[in-house]
Structure 1
Amino acid sequence: MRLLVIDGRDIARHASLMDEAFRLRHRIFVEELGWERLRKPDGREIDQFDVETARHFLILDERDNLRVYTRLLPTQWPHLLSDAYPQLAPRGIPRGPQIWEWTRLAIDPKYRGDGSWSRGSGEMARAVVEHCLANGIEQMTWEGHPVWVTRFLEMGFWPTPLGPITDIDGGPVIAGVMDVTPDVLDGFAGRGIAATPLHAVMA
């Protein structure tokens, strides 16, 4: 397995892989989860935040097939919480150069395991944390189903809600913020996610 981290300004250099990533996003969030407002005729889930400031994470298998995807967005620029779902944080949205938004975790169904954790989500989460620690990112904001509060606790985070659970498009959604510290890596060790399990390449 290997991890590619692609800056938004370099998408054109990795057009084939990013096309696969956008198609995986559409398959998971539209076709599987039913987020119809994201449906696109070309089968690619691309939004207004897939710009130069975005950072894309791709886990590839031995044949360079995409298995897991996720994205980080810098909060000092427009991002989902600030521009799409500000109602999820009625008391204010944490923003700053050391705070990034974690969004769009998509896992190929063939790479999932049983239970709330999967091999793919665990490996990607650890890769994201290691990337944050290496690049001065101290906090991450996020929005998603309330079950993620429990999952983040299992990973070793201490998520803090930014507002109440809110119904969006027929489902419960909550936003939160959490610190990224070296202690978080202990949570991965406890779940059997080994240190640096992937060969990481900054593309």
Structure 2
Amino acid sequence: MLNLTDAAANEAHAFRTMFAARKRVFIDLLRWDLPVLAGKYEVDQFDNQHADYLILLDENGEHRASTRLLRTDTPHILRDMFPVLCPGPVPSGPATREITRFCLDPRLTAAQRKVARNELVTALVQYALRNGVTDYTGVAGLAWYRQIRTFGWQCRALGDAVTHDGQMLVGLHISIDGNTLEGLKQAGCFAEPIIEMPAARGGAA
């Protein structure tokens, strides 16, 4: 169970369960070629002091869903690894964040994953509204991008899909404003996060 009197321990545990879940999803299931720390955590060069994280937990403090948010005035994935996905200027600035490592725990059932997904999408919008973020960018597989577009927010492709390592990838842009939460509700994708770690910066396993 969560120890509500020890915020530091809760946060450290949340980071460990998140990095372990990322390994299960992105390395074990999706077979991405990514570094592994201590044989069980997926951690890369973007997990640094500039990254923010949203982590959803169950009642025992275990990972349900998470995502990493990167500033766009420092190195990030779209600009520095996949600039071909954005033929024009890559959206950037203090009010723009890049969504990366959107992770739903594979131990959840399909129904539980959908609930966790909706909570994480809602948390992303709430984070943006609380922190003056007006734009999100990201890199997604074409099938995932098509799902993201249905969540009720304003989402568009930054360019044509491009094949990379046998997968069609899309650079995407999401606009956030005072109407976005209502859009999620109308699309059936609004769900208030139940147990969410406060947005934490610069974690390590």
Question: Normalising to structure 2: TM-score of the pair?
Answer: 0.83
Mapped partners of 2:68, 2:28: distance in 1: 19
Q: Is 1:91 aligned with 2:88?
A: yes
Uncovered stretches (5+) of structure 2, i.e. residues with no partner: 3-7, 201-205
Aligned positions of 1:34-73 closer than 5 A:
34-35=31-32, 37-40=33-36, 42-73=39-70
1:14-53 CA distance string (max 9 Å, x none): 3332122111111101111111x21526132111111111
1:87-116 CA distance string (max 9 Å, x none): 2112221110000001101111233425xx
Instruction: Indicate if the aligned counterparts of 2:118 and 2:190 stay in contact, CA closer than 8 A.
Output: no
Mapped partners of 2:126, 2:156: distance in 1: 21
Mapped partners of 2:184, 2:156: distance in 1: 19
Q: Is 1:106 aligned with 2:95?
A: no
Mapped partners of 2:42, 2:197: distance in 1: 24
Mapped partners of 2:148, 2:36: distance in 1: 31
**What's the CA shift for 1:12?**
9.4
1:111-153 CA distance string (max 9 Å, x none): 3425xx7111111010111110111000000111122333233
- Higher relative contact order at CA 8 Å, sep ≥6: structure 1 or structure 2? 2
Mapped partners of 2:154, 2:187: distance in 1: 16
Mapped partners of 2:176, 2:142: distance in 1: 20
**Aligned-residue CA RMSD (Å):** 2.4
**What's the CA shift for 1:194?**
4.9
Instruction: Indicate if the aligned counterparts of 2:14 and 2:57 stay in contact, CA closer than 8 A.
Output: no
Mapped partners of 1:140, 1:19: distance in 2: 25
Instruction: Give the number of equivalent residue pairs.
Output: 191
Mapped partners of 1:101, 1:12: distance in 2: 27
Secondary structure at the residue paired with 1:38?
coil
Uncovered stretches (5+) of structure 1, i.e. residues with no partner: 3-10
Mapped partners of 1:12, 1:38: distance in 2: 27
1:176-195 CA distance string (max 9 Å, x none): 11201222212332354556
Change (3 A) 1:74 1:39: closer
Mapped partners of 1:104, 1:119: distance in 2: 18
Mapped partners of 2:22, 2:191: distance in 1: 27
Secondary structure at the residue paired with 1:131?
helix
Q: What is the identity, as a one-letter code, of the residue corresponding to 2:27?
A: V
Aligned-pair identity in percent equals 30
Mapped partners of 2:66, 2:81: distance in 1: 21
**What's the CA shift for 1:161?**
1.4
Q: Which residue of 2 aligns with 1:6?
A: none
Q: Which residue of 2 aligns with 1:27?
A: 24
In structure 2, which of residues 184, 191, 196 is the aligned counterpart of residue 188 of structure 1? 184
Secondary structure at the residue paired with 1:18?
helix
Mapped partners of 2:124, 2:186: distance in 1: 17
1:64-109 CA distance string (max 9 Å, x none): 1111111111101111111121121122211100000011011112
Change (3 A) 1:168 1:150: same
Change (3 A) 1:141 1:44: same
In structure 1, which of residues 138, 160, 164 is the aligned counterpart of residue 160 of structure 2? 164
Q: Which residue of 1 aligns with 2:149?
A: 153
